[in-house]
């Protein structure tokens, strides 16, 4: 099984040189209400030089049974990396994808080089989840189909997040971590500060006028911050 479902893999050129000199693969984990295709603008902005993969997460793939579990999603990603022969990758997750990335970093630290967490979810409030569920219910079916997103599966994610509390796991993340948040994402700002406070090697960057889904809202700015961090320049 490929790391990404058909049409969702978005590799860039890995460049020349020995395997040791090549950059680690970058795994891109999409957010709520999104599918892997949303990474295209980010990939274009990041540019060539690094292999990239945008997989569906377990529980969100089009043929998966309805239901979502963060642990199962992280375990499924670990299995896919190993099947592809990827011993270590950098991981960029947005929204719930950031939560899966954090879970992977805790449970399989051997697989994770660096983390980029954009608009991470740590302990969502009931009110925020209700608003997001309402927005998803109001989204036209045609738009969901264009994204390859299933409304029942997305609603199952919201249900799974009702009891989610990732605070205890933060201190167990050993990977160097960049937290990126949009200035308009109030809930994300609270969660981002929590991550930076509790993860030993983490720092925070804010994108002006950005929302909770920076891979769509501010892909170029997110790509610039990601590139500098992964290249060790920031």
Q: Distance between CA atoms of 117 and 97, rounded to whole angstroms? A: 8
Residue 168 CB contacts under 8 Å (≥ 6 apart), including other chains: none
Predicted TM-score (pTM) of the model is 0.82
Exposed, middle or buried: residue 162 (CB in 10 Å: 0-12, 13-18, 19+)?
Answer: exposed
Residues 6 or more apart whose CB falls under 8 angstroms from that of 203 comprise: 177, 178, 179, 196
Q: Is residue 113 part of a domain?
A: yes
User: Would residue 4 count as lying in a domain?
Assistant: no
The CATH number of the domain where 36 resides is what?
3.40.50.1820
Domain membership flag for residue 157: yes
Range of the domain at 211: 19-227
Q: Is residue 195 included in any domain, yes or no?
A: yes
User: Helix (H, G, I), strand (E, B), or coil: what is residue 32?
Assistant: coil
Any domain includes 10: no
In angstroms, the CA 177 to CA 214 distance is 17
* Structural domain count of the chain: 1
Would residue 5 count as lying in a domain?
Answer: no
Tens of each residue's pLDDT in the chain, 234 residues? 334 433 344 544 344 444 456 789 999 999 877 889 899 999 999 998 899 999 988 888 777 788 888 899 999 999 999 999 999 999 999 988 999 999 999 999 999 999 999 988 887 666 666 666 776 677 787 777 766 677 777 777 777 777 777 788 899 999 999 999 999 988 889 889 999 999 999 999 999 999 888 999 999 999 999 999 999 864
């Amino acid at each position: 099984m490929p790391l990404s479902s058909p049409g969702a893999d978005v590799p860039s050129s890995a460049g020349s040189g020995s395997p040791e000199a090549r950059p680690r693969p970058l795994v891109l984990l999409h957010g709520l209400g999104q599918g892997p295709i949303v990474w295209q603008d980010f990939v274009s902005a990041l540019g060539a030089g690094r292999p990239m993969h945008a997989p569906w997460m377990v529980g969100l793939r089009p043929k998966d049974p309805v239901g979502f579990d963060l642990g199962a999603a992280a375990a499924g990603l670990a299995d896919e990396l190993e099947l592809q022969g990827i011993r270590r990758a950098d991981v960029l997750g947005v929204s719930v994808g950031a939560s899966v990335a954090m879970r992977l970093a805790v449970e399989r630290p051997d697989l994770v080089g660096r983390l980029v967490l954009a608009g991470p979810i740590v302990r969502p409030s009931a009110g925020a989840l209700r608003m997001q569920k309402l927005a998803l219910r109001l989204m036209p079916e045609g738009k969901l189909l264009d994204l390859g997103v299933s409304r029942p599966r997305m609603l199952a994610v919201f249900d799974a997040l009702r009891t989610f509390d990732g605070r205890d796991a933060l201190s167990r993340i050993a990977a160097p971590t960049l937290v990126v948040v949009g200035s308009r994402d109030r809930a994300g700002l609270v969660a981002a500060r929590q991550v930076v406070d509790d993860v030993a090697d983490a720092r925070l960057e804010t994108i002006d006028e950005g929302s909770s889904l920076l891979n769509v809202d501010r892909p170029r700015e997110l790509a610039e911050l990601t590139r500098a961090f992964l290249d060790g320049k920031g």
